[in-house]
């Protein structure tokens, strides 16, 4: 049946201005890192995207290598985009990235001008789009001059293949350099995408301050630590879980007794707040003024509902924040 989004889709979502730009992003964005490759039924991917948009999630985040296999998430998204979302393109923010290995040889990885421009051209073909809203360099390149990488981002924006330039996984010092170069080129850096959660605090070591001072937005990926910051593993490792499948992003060896004890303490605080642990973990990341949005993954529509419903309970008392820090020790 033809897709018609809910008329009330914008009523419950919160939209936050991205740094000092004119763009607003939903507080909850949907990442297509998992569950959108060829190993997932397209009908399930379609249901997730439809439900996300129905709940006001207007930002879909991809990368050239998302799958598996690499490229398949963009291909499947392109099909769903064409069949379901074509009429709503101007209501959507679509992002993609390049920076990790995508094809064989010396030109399919890292941060050269040749790789970034070629990769974006391939991504646009896979998705059937004329442009993406945000194009990221996915990780710093230790060998390519930073000026070359940033000039490539500036170039694709000036070509109209991307509306905004962005970076991901950059430490504070390199991020500051990249932001300065883009500003001098006349294409400001819109947003930075770091890994950030209750268990991954590295952005607090200078990065969030740099982004706030420079007027650059922040969108946190893996805010649930790959699913650890949920109630999914409190009673052991379910057979159908990511950890049980031996995912390179989360395996059962990472679920140590020490970590799970912390999860149990955090769970108790969440229950007192009237939330699920996952909801509290998302709210904790979003409480930072510099954080524009959090990226969630989803395999079920109920996970999208949980994330969006969290927005009604984002406030933390100083006592709660202190108890959370104590639980993490």
pLDDT greater than 50 at residue 61:
yes
Q: For domain 15-227+287-299, give the CATH superfamily.
A: NADP-dependent oxidoreductase domain (3.20.20.100)
Report d(CA 233, CA 223) in Å as an integer.
16
pLDDT (tens digit, 9 = 90+) per residue, 129-188?
Answer: 999 999 999 999 999 999 999 999 999 999 999 999 999 999 999 999 999 999 999 999
**Phi and psi at residue 62, to the nearest 5°:** -125, 180
pLDDT (tens digit, 9 = 90+) per residue, 104-131?
Answer: 999 999 999 999 999 999 999 999 999 9
Pick the closest to residue 216 from 291, 126, 267 (CA basis): 291
Q: Please state the domain extents for the chain.
A: 15-227+287-299
Q: Looking at the whole model, is its pTM more than 0.75? A: yes
Residue 252, Cβ density class (10 Å: 0-12 exposed, 13-18 middle, ≥19 buried): middle
Q: Are 225 and 197 in contact (CB under 8 A)?
A: yes
First to last CA, the chain: 51
């Amino acid at each position: 049946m033809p897709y018609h989004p809910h008329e009330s889709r914008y009523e419950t979502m919160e939209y936050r201005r991205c740094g000092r730009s004119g763009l607003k992003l939903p507080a909850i964005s949907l990442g297509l890192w998992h569950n959108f490759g060829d190993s997932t039924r397209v009908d399930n991917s379609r249901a997730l995207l439809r439900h996300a948009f129905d709940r006001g999630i207007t930002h879909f985040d991809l990368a050239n290598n998302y799958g598996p296999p690499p490229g398949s998430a963009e291909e499947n998204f392109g099909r769903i985009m064409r069949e379901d979302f074509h009429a709503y393109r101007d209501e959507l923010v679509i992002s993609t990235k390049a920076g990790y290995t995508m094809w064989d040889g010396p030109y399919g990885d890292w941060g050269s001008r040749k790789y970034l421009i070629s990769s974006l051209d391939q991504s646009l073909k896979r998705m059937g789009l004329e442009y993406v809203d945000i194009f990221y360099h996915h990780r710093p390149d230790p060998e390519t001059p930073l000026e070359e990488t940033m000039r490539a981002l500036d170039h694709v924006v000036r070509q109209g293949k991307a509306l905004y330039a962005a970076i991901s996984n950059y430490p504070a010092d390199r991020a500051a350099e990249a932001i300065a170069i883009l500003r001098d080129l006349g294409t400001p850096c819109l947003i930075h995408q770091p890994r950030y959660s209750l268990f991954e605090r590295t952005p607090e070591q200078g990065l969030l301050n740099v982004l706030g001072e420079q007027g650059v937005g922040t969108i946190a990926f893996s805010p649930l630590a790959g699913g650890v910051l949920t109630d999914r593993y409190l009673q052991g490792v379910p057979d159908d879980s990511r950890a049980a499948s031996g995912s390179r992003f989360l395996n059962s060896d990472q679920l140590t007794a020490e970590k799970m004890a912390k999860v149990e303490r955090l769970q108790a605080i969440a229950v007192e707040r009237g939330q699920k642990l996952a909801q509290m973990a998302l709210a904790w990341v979003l409480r930072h003024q510099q954080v524009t949005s959090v990226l969630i993954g989803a395999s079920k529509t109920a996970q999208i509902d949980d994330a969006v419903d969290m927005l009604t309970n984002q406030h933390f008392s100083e006592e709660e924040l202190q108890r959370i820090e104590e639980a993490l020790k």
